[in-house]
């Protein structure tokens, strides 16, 4: 039930008639002084969940947000609605910061936005204790977890903030991406009780997810843009070099394109970002440095030119499409080889071994997403722990109108070959053995003597690889953790080998895999 005061503020201050799903529940908890974690998809309306209580509580609401670039806009928008809000971050000098803090101490401000880095300075928490803080709002709360995809050490101080402030503020944490592990972490660190988790689910019913596999990416991109001329969109590539390549390609075809990466000067970045935001150049080609907190509502497509590191990043980046609720596309252009770039990033990161193992695990999930035959939206929801949903009916897998073929026999060949290889090898060797390749290493190991050698020799190696990826995505094959992913047979795969389970895959009936032409 919506608190009648909350509803009045929604109407009077924000001009909306009714709450969106979950908003009233979250607001009511916060007004009752109960610590809460709100999980809502991008565009779901998280901001109002703390802005409305902020106006109804006597003291100050402290909003911690990593989106420094956005703070000013957010505050301006609130001011325009007649709400006393301000921010402090590194763009301001010492005097101005002090001035703003004093205003807050005098009760002249209802919402104070701060960047998490503020808390790295010893003494900042003491300064805050001069303020009567009623609510501590933690935006992008997944940044507090080591297991999230965007961990920020500064966020760890927030545990102390909540505990040390005399005013005992109510904590509201907000995020659009949290696996179970991350959500648990957030709740522990911010003292949110078991019942304090409010989730409206992660689904984005206006997004159409597509995986485009093994096609020439540039050709696809140009075809897509031809059909979607004049739309705003973001194209993500994984390296600066690829960003330059794609941006140059589109510029050569006279598309209004701009680009963004972390190495550009801040002047250039700001300029390009604005060109994009104000639709002067509505196509943005960028690395993942772009987009955190970008609130452009009319983004009609987000295309990943390469596979990102994990599904959380993917969903967050893809989720920048369609914030206005209108139909939009989320497209992943996938080539198995692209995984190498991500492997390289993980290998060369300075994370410890545990975290590297976690990264490899996440990358494997990303790979599964690219290769699954199941509903893509459902796959993502399952990843975030939301089960029992129906297929979306819109994604490229749901719309794949090819018939299911029974591929049990081929699957059995692959699985038994894994067992012959004693689960000690990866996809590369498995493919070669099944194809009957005369590979040096293979011959050295005497794998040409295995009974499974050459069992799929009528298929192209590429198609054998794709079959292995499919069986992995569907959990018939288990992937070992680590850089050199060795393959094993899962329990489900065991059932297939014992003839207790059949395997079906959507594909064209005749050229099952690509059989030789003389059939």
Which residues of the shown chain bind Zn ion in the complex (CB under 5 A)?
Answer: 375, 377, 391-392, 395, 398
Q: Which does 375 bind (CB under 5 to 8 A by kind): ligand ADP, Zn ion, none?
A: Zn ion
Q: Which of 276, 476, 296, 279 is nearest to 368 (CA)?
A: 476
Question: At closest approach, how far in Å is the CB of 329 from ligand ADP?
Answer: 19
Under rule CB under 6 A, residue 16 binds ligand ADP: yes
**Contacts of 4 by beta carbon, 8 Å cutoff, 6+ apart:** none
Compute CA 362 distance to the chain's CA centroid, rounded to the nearest angstrom. Answer: 11
Pick between residue 106 and residue 390 the one whose CB is nearest to Zn ion: 390
Looking at 41-49, 159-167, 431-439, 472-480, which segment touches ligand ADP (CB under 6 A)?
A: 41-49
Pick between residue 45 and residue 282 the one whose CB is nearest to ligand ADP: 45
Describe the crossing of helices 353-371 and 311-318 by its angle, rounded to 10 degrees.
60
> Residue 212 — φ and ψ, nearest 5°?
-110, 115
Of 260-299, binders to ligand ADP (CB under 6 A) are 295
Q: Which does 53 bind (CB under 5 to 8 A by kind): ligand ADP, Zn ion, none?
A: none
Question: At closest approach, how far in Å is the CB of 21 from ligand ADP?
Answer: 9
Of 295-324, binders to ligand ADP (CB under 6 A) are 295
Pick between residue 48 and residue 477 the one whose CB is nearest to ligand ADP: 48
Pick between residue 380 and residue 467 the one whose CB is nearest to ligand ADP: 380
What is the arrangement of strands in the sheet containing 197-199, beginning at the earlier edge strand? 85-88, 111-114, 60-64, 133-138, 170-175, 36-39, 197-199
Question: At closest approach, how far in Å is the CB of 319 from ligand ADP?
Answer: 8
Pick between residue 179 and residue 378 the one whose CB is nearest to Zn ion: 378
Question: At closest approach, how far in Å is the CB of 16 from ligand ADP?
Answer: 4
Q: Measure Cα distances from 468 to 14, 359, 449, 478 in Å.
A: 53, 21, 21, 11
Please list the residues that pair with 265 across neighbouring strands. Answer: none
Name the residue number minimizing CB distance to ligand ADP.
45
**Contacts of 301 by beta carbon, 8 Å cutoff, 6+ apart:** 224, 228, 231, 233, 234, 321, 328, 329, 330, 331
> Residue 258 — φ and ψ, nearest 5°?
-135, 175
Q: Which of 22, 37, 43, 247 binds ligand ADP (CB under 6 A)?
A: 43
State which H helix or E strand residue 303 sits in.
strand 299-304
Q: Is the dihedral of CA 165, 167, 170, 172 positive or negative?
A: negative
Q: Which does 359 bind (CB under 5 to 8 A by kind): ligand ADP, Zn ion, none?
A: none
d(CA 445, CA 130): 72
Binding mask 395-414 for ligand ADP (x = CB under 6 A): --------------------
Distance separating the N- and C-terminal Cα atoms of the chain: 67
Question: At closest approach, how far in Å is the CB of 235 from Zn ion?
Answer: 23
Q: Which of 2, 3, 5, 20 binds ligand ADP (CB under 6 A)?
A: 20
Pick between residue 162 and residue 395 the one whose CB is nearest to Zn ion: 395
Under rule CB under 6 A, residue 81 binds ligand ADP: no
**Contacts of 214 by beta carbon, 8 Å cutoff, 6+ apart:** 334, 335, 336, 462, 466
| Cα-based angle 296, 68, 168 (whole degrees, multiple of 5) | 115
Under rule CB under 6 A, residue 45 binds ligand ADP: yes
Pick between residue 140 and residue 185 the one whose CB is nearest to ligand ADP: 140
Under rule CB under 6 A, residue 152 binds ligand ADP: no
Q: Which of 48, 114, 135, 407 binds ligand ADP (CB under 6 A)?
A: 48
Looking at 46-54, 196-204, 344-352, 485-493, which segment touches ligand ADP (CB under 6 A)?
A: 46-54
Q: How does DSSP classify residue 116?
A: G
Pick between residue 272 and residue 377 the one whose CB is nearest to Zn ion: 377
Q: Which of 29, 35, 37, 46 binds ligand ADP (CB under 6 A)?
A: 46
Under rule CB under 6 A, residue 42 binds ligand ADP: yes
Q: Are 117 and 155 in contact (CB under 8 A)?
A: no
User: Using DSSP, how many helices (H) and how many strands (E) does the chain show?
Assistant: 20, 17
Residues that bind ligand ADP (CB under 6 A): 16, 19-20, 23, 40, 42-48, 295
């Amino acid at each position: 039930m919506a608190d009648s005061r909350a509803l009045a503020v929604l109407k009077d201050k924000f001009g909306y008639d009714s709450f969106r799903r979950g908003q009233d529940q979250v607001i009511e908890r916060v007004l009752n002084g109960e610590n809460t974690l709100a999980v809502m998809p991008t565009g779901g309306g998280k901001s109002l969940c703390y802005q409305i209580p902020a106006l109804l509580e006597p003291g100050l609401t402290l909003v911690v947000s990593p989106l420094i670039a956005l703070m000013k806009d957010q505050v301006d928008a609130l001011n325009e609605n007649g709400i006393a809000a301000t921010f402090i971050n590194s763009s301001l000098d010492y005097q101005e910061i002090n001035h703003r803090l004093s205003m807050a101490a005098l009760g002249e401000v209802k919402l104070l936005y701060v960047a998490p880095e503020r808390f790295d300075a010893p003494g900042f928490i003491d300064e805050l204790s001069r303020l009567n803080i009623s609510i501590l709002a933690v935006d992008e709360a997944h940044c507090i977890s080591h297991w999230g995809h965007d961990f920020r050490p500064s966020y760890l101080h927030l545990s102390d903030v909540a505990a040390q402030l005399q005013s005992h503020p109510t904590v509201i944490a907000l995020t659009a991406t949290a696996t179970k592990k991350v959500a648990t972490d957030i709740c522990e660190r911010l003292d949110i009780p078991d019942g304090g988790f409010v989730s409206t689910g992660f689904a984005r019913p206006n997004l159409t997810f597509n995986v485009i596999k093994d096609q020439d990416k540039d050709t696809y991109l140009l075809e897509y843009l031809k059909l979607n001329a004049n739309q705003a969109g973001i194209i993500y590539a994984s390296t600066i070099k690829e960003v330059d390549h794609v941006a140059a390609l589109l510029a050569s075809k006279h598309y209004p394109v701009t680009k963004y990466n972390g190495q550009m000067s801040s002047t250039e970045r700001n300029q390009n970002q604005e060109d994009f935001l104000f639709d002067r150049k509505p196509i943005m080609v960028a690395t993942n440095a772009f987009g955190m907190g970008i609130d452009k509502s009319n983004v009609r497509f987000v295309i990943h030119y390469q596979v990102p590191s994990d599904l959380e990043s993917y969903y967050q980046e893809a989720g920048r499409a369609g914030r206005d609720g209108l139909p939009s596309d989320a497209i992943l252009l996938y080539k198995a080889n692209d995984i190498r770039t991500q492997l390289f990033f993980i290998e060369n990161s300075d994370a410890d071994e545990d975290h590297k193992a976690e990264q490899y695990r996440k990358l494997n999930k990303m790979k599964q997403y690219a290769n699954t035959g199941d509903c893509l939206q459902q796959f993502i929801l399952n990843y975030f722990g939301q089960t029992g949903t129906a297929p979306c009916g819109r994604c490229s897998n749901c719309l794949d109108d090819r018939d299911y073929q029974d591929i049990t026999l081929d699957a059995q060949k692959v699985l038994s070959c894994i067992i012959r290889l004693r689960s000690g090898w990866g996809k590369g060797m498995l493919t070669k053995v099944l194809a009957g390749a005369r590979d040096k290493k293979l011959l050295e190991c005497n794998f040409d003597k295995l009974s499974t050698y050459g069992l799929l020799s009528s298929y192209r190696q590429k198609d054998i690889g794709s079959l292995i990826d499919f069986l992995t995505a569907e959990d018939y094959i288990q992937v070992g953790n680590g850089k050199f992913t060795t393959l094993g047979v899962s329990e489900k795969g065991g059932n297939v080998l014992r003839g207790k389970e059949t395997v079906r895959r959507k594909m064209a009936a005749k050229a099952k895999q690509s059989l030789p032409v003389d059939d």
